[in-house]
Amino acid sequence: MVTLDLCTKAAIAGGTAAKETYAGKAEVKETDFAGSHAITTRADFVSQQAILERILSDDIKSYFITEEHVEDVRFRERLIGVNDLDEMIGKGVFVIDELDGSSSRAIGHYEWSVSVGYVENMENVIGAVYAPNVFGGALFHVRNKGDGAWFGGNVKDCFSGNFSRVNVVDREISDSYVIFGPDCPIPKYPLHNELMNKVAEDVRTVNINGSCALPMGLVAAGMADCLIEPLVCPWDWAGGLPIVQEAGGKVVFYEMPKGTEGPCVPVDKLEPRHYYPGDDKRILGLVAGNSRIVDYVGEMLFK
Domain CATH number, residue 13? 3.30.540.10
Task: Give the DSSP H/E element, type plus range, for residue 14.
Answer: helix 4-20
Residues 228, 131 share a domain? no
Domain boundary among 131, 166, 201: 166
pTM for the whole structure:
0.93
Query: Are 182 and 130 in a shared domain?
Result: no
Are 142 and 183 part of one and the same domain?
Answer: no
Instruction: Tell me what pLDDT residue 95 has.
Output: 98
83 neighbors 54 (Cβ within 8 angstroms):
no
Domain that holds residue 136: 4-166
Q: Which of 166, 188, 212 is the last residue of a domain?
A: 166
Asked if 201 and 279 sit in the same domain, the reply is yes
DSSP codes joined into one string, 92-128: EEEEEEEEETHHHHHHT-S--EEEEEEEETTEEEEEE
What pLDDT was estimated at residue 279? 78
- Those residues of the chain that have pLDDT short of 70 are 1-4, 23-39, 155-161
Whole-number Å distance between alpha carbons of 166 and 144: 14
Asked if residue 185 and residue 145 are part of one domain, the reply reads no
Q: What is the pLDDT of residue 23?
A: 63
**Structural element, H or E, at residue 26:** none
State whether 119 and 187 are in the same domain: no
| 162 in the same domain as 18 | yes
Rg (alpha carbons) of the chain, rounded to whole number: 18
Length of the chain: 303
Return the pLDDT at 10. Answer: 95
CATH of the domain at 208: 3.40.190.80
Question: 61 and 151 share a domain?
Answer: yes
Buried b (16+ CB within 10 A) or exposed e, 40-66: bbbbbbbbbbbbbbbbbeebeebbbbb
Same domain flag for 20 and 40: yes
Number of domains in the chain: 2
Domain identity same for 40 and 152:
yes
The predicted pLDDT at position 143 comes to 76
My answer on whether 201 and 257 are in the same domain is yes
